[in-house]
Structure 1
Amino acid sequence: MTSDMMITLSVLAITAALFMSGKVRSDLVAICSLIVLVLFDILTPDEALSGFANSIVIMMIGLFVVGGGIFQTGLAKMASGRLLKLAGTSETRLLVTIMLASAGIGAFVSNTGTVAVMLPIVVSMAMSSGISPSRLLMPLAFASSLGGALTLIGTPPNLVIRETLMNAGFEELSFFSFTPIGLVCVGLGTILIVVLSKFLLPKGAKKAKGTRGEGRSLEELAGQYQLSQNLYRVQVGEGSPITSKKLIDLDIPKRYHVHIIELRRRTSSKNPFFKTINQEIAGPTTLLQEQDILYVYGAFEQVEQFAKENGLDLLDQQVVERTGDNPSKPSSQSNGYASREIGIAEVLLPPNSALINKLVKHSGFREKYNVNILGIQRKGEYLLHDLKDEKIRSGDALLVQGTWEGISLLSKEQTDVVVVGQPLEAAASVTLDHKAPIAGGIMLLMIVLMILDIFPAVVSVMIAAVLMVVTGCLRNMEEAYKTINWESIVLIGGMIPMSIAIQNTGAAALLSTQLVESLGSFGPLALLAGVYFTTSILTLFISNTACAVLFAPIALTAAVELGVSPMPFMFAVAIGAGMCFAVPFSTPPNALVMSAGKYTFKNYVRLGLPLQLILGVVMVILLPFFFPF
């Protein structure tokens, strides 16, 4: 073993270990590994940067933009919503429909985007059908990964093996090369999930059928975040020192550790009653007046101190506010944090959200969307106080309160947040935006160009991406750039040169020789099983793209050494990398549904591990029939 090979394998091992730990961003790890390989003269600067000029990276950028156009115009929401409405209220029919819709959309756009669009629709459909969302959300995430096996552009590992085969002089894969084996994956996966989920998914709490409400069960959210125990009403008394002052100047959260989230104001001095139409979110510029009723969120002792020091009356539970002649008690659970105009919703953060590691006070929720963050759910615990200086972390679920209009505006921001718990009608709405047909036509044009092979695949994708901007499906280039997951792009661009180093130093030949020597004597089927399950196990710990980039050249060399066609082995790498279900953080869709479905790590292992193993065994048996040795 040469010194260059030892250094390359050491860098590879350290890189894999850092990927598994998850403590350092994967794109930073990839760039650092490149720098080390350049410093040791294993890669030239040109070779180190070659990954960013690779057609895979350029195609992924284009596909993110095309997918962004599909999502922004509402086309994906329309398609999935219409399909789900046809499913009725039967849990099995709804489950099958959700999976087929998710797989179908996931065949053409990113699986993360697919789940982000469908998640609020599925939650609202589940609630209105009396089904626990936990019965549907994990299958939704798994189906989006299954759909990635249907087309060339379904998932990055598919593009990786295409590029590896082309560079080695083998026939280029077509757009639908994956479709036959992908249909088997989707069909078998759907059947297995429908059967296994009956026994292995949590039952969850059901909601009575036909129950309507302004959200994904406001009572459930309120109880979950203990809103009723932390919401109090105080009235600004005569001569109060906070009268005629703006909230931003009073700095109440810092001084008293309480938050004023809403106020209700008398409409006329002649009218002794309060009208809920004057209910409004308390913002930094809100000017307080005498007789205002403030809804204050915080611990009772701190609210009491705030009221005592500022001449406020702490109202008891019997005081009634009136709208005309209709009393509504403030102790009613929905009153105080939700009404016809104002509501609450739960917000989930995709793993690549720009909000991760930002302080709550710097999140911009209030400034951009006029909503307040009331609580944070983190690993089964609820943070309810002193949130201003709390750092938002990956996997957090946020409880926000604001106008329904503001929440609706927030729900359109699918890059950094996914809103669940918005009004049932809004979540399930499938209104067709006027640009949606154009986005659908552009997507169809891209597929036709790729099937007919009129241009290289990367050119077809870039044509479609440019058309999305030119036709207004994305408003401008800034919107287009926002749709791109730059962490994934940098990761792919950084890992491709790693595979060059593995090949140039002979590490790929060494590892493939060991594979052949240990399994080759048992025949190509045993080697195929080794390739598939090694990839499948590795992708539990590192991203499927990085896994495919690293293992594709090893599998190719092993097949050539054994003297058989590399096709089944390369498809084993792509499918093995894409079908990862046994852990929650192996893929963004798995992580995205964790909070919404209230899943634990054990839930993923119970359903995902048998699914991953059974699919693996079937793929190893069937791949040689589709792609003979």
Structure 2
Amino acid sequence: MSLELAQVLVLLGIAIAMFVAGRPRLDAVALIMIVLLPATGVLDMNEALAGFSDPNIVLVAALFVIGEGLVRTGVAQGVGDWLVRHGGSSETRLLVLMMLAVGLMGSFMSSTAVVAIFIPIVMRIAQQTGIAASQLLMPVSVAGLISGMMTLVATTPNLVVNGELMRHGEAGFSFFVFTPIGVPVLVLAIAYMAVARRWLPSQRPSAGSGRPSLNDWVDQYQLHDRAFRLAVEAQSPLVGRSLAGLGLGDSSAARVIALERQHTLRREVLRVSDDTEIRAGDILLLDVESKDFDLHRLCERHALHVLPISGAYFTDQSRDVGMAEAIIPVDSTLVGTTGCESRLLAQHGLTVVGLRRGRVTHAHGLENARLQVGDTLLLVGPWQAIRVLQSDGHDLVGLSLPLEGKSLVPAPRRAPHAVFCLVLVIGLMMSGLLPNVQAALLGCLLMGLFRCIDLDTAYRAIHWRSLILIVGMLPFSLALQRTGGIDLAADGLLALVGDFGVRTVLASLFVLCTLIGLVIPNTATAVLMAPVALALATHLGASPYPFAMMVALAASSGFLTPISSPVNTLVSTAGNYSFGDFVKVGLPLATMVLLLSVLLVPWLLPP
């Protein structure tokens, strides 16, 4: 082993250790590696940064935008509503329809985004039918992972593997080359989960009536008698000053969640921050969490008077003031902070008034509650602020809106246009008339032209952390090739199983990728293992396509633990699953997917 290879492997080991520890976050690890790899002398800085010019990076970004267009126009939400209408009360029928819907949507959208969309849908179905949500959520995560096996653009690892093929002078995969494998795997998974769901927790939810209303959340989070409307009198010392002059500070004892202001012809509810200027005649919407808060003293000191409020917790202002439940994902900046400390929520003008962790609901003492992955927050603020946050799925995902927010899809009339853009992009990719990245960019431009999405929302829709992760891991592939690390790994695997035939080598490659995927993200797994797979094919004198395909399939088979994939992490808390639940259900499924892949891949893509 050369000194250069040893240095690269040490850096790779450090990156894996940081991935496992979860500190720092994934994109920061990638940037650290971009800085450190040129220090080995194996690469120069231009080569370390070359990933930013990779067409696949642009393609992934464009697909995020197209997926957001489907969400903003209500296409994604419409699928969930269709399930509620047609699923009935049959657990098996709901499971089948849900897994099919997630598999189909995940074929063209981020699987994490699709699962985040479906978590509140599952909760709603569970409440309506009395079926345990825990028996439906894991099937949703399984279908989300398998959706990555359906099309070329279904998941980032597919594009990474395809890019590696093209860098080696191969033609790359066609758009639907994965589908003959993904469809049987999805059918197998549906049949398996119809049986395996009985091994999952089966606590039944309380009876309900479908999508919750604002009143339902007021009851669930015990928000009664917490809402006050305070009018600012002309002689108030607050007039002309910022909202910080109220002196409420960062405490959650009392917080202004919105402000009503009368304009010439209409009244408007505005989102607020500490810098919001107060005018005479403004009405402050105040949430008072603590029973010890002295509201009378506040009114006397600042010349405010209390106005009547008829609905429970601002429900009589439901046209302007809304609520939403949102889930904290794995890489959220909110993890470890409190709601009061969140710059994100302050920026959007939203307030945390409730927290649900597992099955326990908290509505008091939130200033001391440190947020965790999978927590569900109840947010209150103007509908406009909720709509803006809904388009920013980086730190909070899976926004569940109440009945009153059903019509809040920003561009519902543009749904046919969004579907047209998606179909056009798929058609162009299938036909080969345009390169994939050009077809995707054309779809993004048409989404903007048809006003399915605007530029600001498009930029927010791109998951920059995922792109940085890919860019940061790509130099490892080049460095390992130059130092002989790829050939060393391929030779080692061939020495172990090479005498047992190509199918055994393919199976071993799948197992190795799955094991690596337990501790590092599946995108990084694909970046590292795709060159090894192609080296194996070269050493065997075989076609590279089945070997590349096995890496892509293994990257989408992270069923085994709640940390194998962000998809699993999202459902683990919502479904109250233990680590053992994932192993118990995931290990047999991963084994079956392995056997089916070894059977189908060499048949469809002869080595």
Q: TM-score range by the shorter chain?
A: 0.7 to 0.9
Partner of 1:510: 488
Task: Report the equivalent of 1:167.
Answer: 167
Per-residue deviation at 1:422? 3.0
**Deviation at residue 513 of structure 1 after TM alignment:** 0.3
TM-superposition CA deviations, 1:321-345 (whole Å, max 9, x none): 996xxxx9xxxxxx45766836754
**Contact 2:256/2:285 (<8 A) preserved:** no
Other-structure match for 1:200: 199
Cα distance, 1:42 vs structure 2: 0.6
Matched, 1:474 2:453: yes
The aligned amino acid for 1:622 is L
* Contact 1:216 1:421 (C-alpha < 8 Å) held by counterparts: no
Does the 8 Å CA contact 2:474/2:527 hold for their aligned counterparts? yes
Alpha-carbon contact 1:145-1:579 (below 8 Å) kept: yes
Once the two structures are overlaid, the 10-residue window that deviates more, 557-566 or 490-499, is: 557-566
- Is residue 349 from structure 1 mapped to residue 335 from structure 2 by the alignment? no
SS of match in other structure, 2:413: coil
Correspondences of 1:4-23 after superposition (within 5 Å): 4-23=4-23
Give the alignment's Cα RMSD to 1 decimal.
4.0
Residue equivalent to 2:606: 628
Q: Does structure 1 residue 368 correspond to structure 2 residue 360?
A: no
What CA distance in whole angstroms lies between the structure 2 residues aligned with 1:17 and 1:129?
Answer: 44
CA contact (8 A) 2:417 2:452 kept: yes
Alignment of 1:562-601 (within 5 A): 562-601=540-579
- CA deviation string 1:458-499 (max 9, x = no partner): 2222222232223322222x2221111111111111111210
Q: Secondary structure at the match of 1:183?
A: helix
TM value normalised by structure 1:
0.81
The structural deviation recorded for 1:437 is: 1.6
Cα 1:451/1:281, change in 2 over 3 Å: closer
Residue 570 to residue 286, structure 1, CA distance change in 2 (3 Å) = same
Cα distance, 1:8 vs structure 2: 1.4
The structural deviation recorded for 1:511 is: 0.9
Match for residue 617 of structure 1? 595
Report the secondary structure of 2:288's partner residue.
strand
Given the alignment, which residue of 526, 533, 550 partners 1:548? Answer: 526
Secondary structure, counterpart of 1:136 in structure 2: helix
Provide the rounded CA distance (Å) in 2 between the counterparts of 1:425 and 1:122. 19
Q: CA deviation at 1:75?
A: 2.1
Whether the aligned pair in 1 keeps the contact of 2:72 and 2:412 (CA below 8 Å) is no
Kindly provide the amino acid, as one letter, of the partner of residue 396 in structure 1. Answer: D
Alignment of 1:118-129 (within 5 A): 118-129=118-129
Aligned to 1:139: 139
Distance change >3 Å, CA 406–CA 185, structure 1 → 2: same
For 2:217, the equivalent position in structure 1 comes to 218
**Contact (CA 8 Å) 2:124, 2:210: kept in 1 or not?**
no
* Deviation readout 1:539-589 (Å, 9 max, x if unpaired): 121111110010111122123223333322211110101121222233222
The offset of 1:118, in angstroms, is: 3.1
Matched, 1:296 2:276: no
Does structure 2 conserve the Cα–Cα contact (< 8 Å) formed by 1:151 and 1:177?
Answer: yes
* 1:456 alignment partner in structure 2: 435
Instruction: Output one character per residue of 1:174-231: Cα deviation in whole Å (capped at 9) or x when no partner.
Output: 111111001112111111122211x222212323265775159537842xxx667xx6
Q: In the TM superposition, what is the alpha-carbon distance from 1:407 to its structure 2 partner?
A: 5.1
Q: Is the 8 A contact 2:257 2:380 kept in 1?
A: no
Q: How far apart are the structure 1 equivalents of 2:388 and 2:45?
A: 45
Deviation of 1:404 (Å): 6.8
Aligned partner of residue 625 in structure 1, secondary structure: helix
Q: Deviations over 1:251-273 (max 9, x none)?
A: 2456x76225789x9xxxxxxxx
Q: More displaced, 565-574 or 344-353?
A: 344-353
Match in the other structure for 2:245: 249
Residue 283 of structure 1: how far off its partner (Å): 8.8
Which sections of structure 2, spanning at least 5 residues, go unmatched? 231-235, 261-268, 301-307
452-461 or 119-128: bigger deviation: 119-128
Could you tell which deviates more after superposition, 37-46 or 376-385?
376-385
* Equivalent residues in 2 for 1:508-547, closer than 5 Å: 508-547=486-525
Give, in whole Å, the separation in 2 of the partners of 1:598 and 1:220.
22
Q: Aligned pair in 2 of structure 1 residues 196, 259: CA closer, same or farther (>3 Å)?
A: same
Contact 1:132 1:205 in 2 (8 A): yes
Is the aligned partner of 1:444 residue 2:439?
A: no
CA–CA distance in structure 1, aligned partners of residues 513 and 585 of structure 2 = 20
Amino acid of the residue matched to residue 155 of structure 1? T
Specify the code of the residue in structure 1 equivalent to 2:196: L
TM-superposed CA distance for 1:604, in Å, is 2.9
Q: 1:281 to 1:569 in 2, by over 3 A?
A: closer
The farther-off stretch of 378-387 and 188-197 is 378-387
Q: Residue 304 of structure 2 aligns with which residue?
A: none
Amino acid paired to 2:145: S
1:36 paired with 2:36, answer yes
Does residue 70 in structure 1 map to residue 70 in structure 2? yes
The separation in 2 between residues aligned to 1:559 and 1:412, in whole angstroms, is 43
8 Å Cα contact 1:536/1:576 also seen in 2:
yes
The aligned counterpart of 1:489 is: 467
Comparing 609-618 with 348-357, which one deviates more in the overlay?
Answer: 348-357
Q: Is the 8 A contact 1:81 1:430 kept in 2?
A: no
Bigger drift between 490-499 and 201-210 goes to 201-210
Change (3 A) 1:566 1:391: same
Higher Rg of the two aligned structures: 1
Does residue 557 of structure 1 match 2:535?
yes
Read off the aligned partner of 2:412 and give its amino acid letter.
Answer: D
Residues 355 and 363 in structure 1, CA contact (< 8 A), matched pair in contact too: no
Deviation at 1:500, TM superposition (A): 0.6
Contact kept, 8 Å, 1:375 with 1:387, in 2: the verdict is yes
Determine if contact 1:376/1:398 at 8 Å carries over to the other structure: yes
Question: In structure 1, how many angstroms separate the alpha carbons of the residues matched to 2:298 and 2:81?
Answer: 51
Which deviations, in whole Å up to 9, do the C-alpha atoms of 1:365-409 show, x marking residues without a partner?
Answer: 46635x421244568877755645876554432222456776566
Query: Does residue 1:258 correspond to 2:236, yes or no?
Result: no
How far is 1:24 from its partner?
1.2
Partner SS, residue 412 of structure 2: coil
SS in 1 for 2:131: coil
For residue 176 of structure 2, what is the aligned residue in structure 1?
176
- In structure 2, C-alpha distance between the alignment counterparts of 1:436 and 1:233, rounded to whole Å: 37
Distance 1:203 1:426 in 2: 30
CA drift at 1:510: 0.5
Structure 1 portions without partners, runs of 5+: 237-241, 266-278, 313-320, 329-334
Shift of 1:56: 1.6
Contact residue 377 and residue 383 of structure 1 kept, 8 A: yes
Q: 1-side partners of 2:411 and 2:23: how far apart?
A: 42
Q: Does the Cα contact within 8 Å between 1:583 and 1:604 map onto a contact in 2?
A: yes
* Equivalent residue number for residue 584 of structure 2: 606
Q: Are the counterparts in 2 of residues 532 and 572 from structure 1 also a CA contact under 8 Å?
A: yes
What is the CA–CA distance in structure 2 between the aligned matches of 1:487 and 1:565, rounded to whole Å?
34
What are the Cα deviations for residues 400-445 of structure 1, in whole angstroms up to 9, with x where unaligned? 2456776566545545433555324745998982222222112111
The aligned amino acid for 2:597 is: M
Deviates more, 1:7-16 or 1:429-438: 429-438
Q: Which residue of 2 aligns with 1:332?
A: none
> What does residue range 328-407 of structure 1 map to in structure 2 within 5 Å?
335-336=312-313, 341=318, 345-353=324-332, 360-363=340-343, 365=345, 368-369=348-349, 371-377=350-356, 387=366, 394-402=373-381
CA contact (8 A) 1:66 1:468 kept: yes
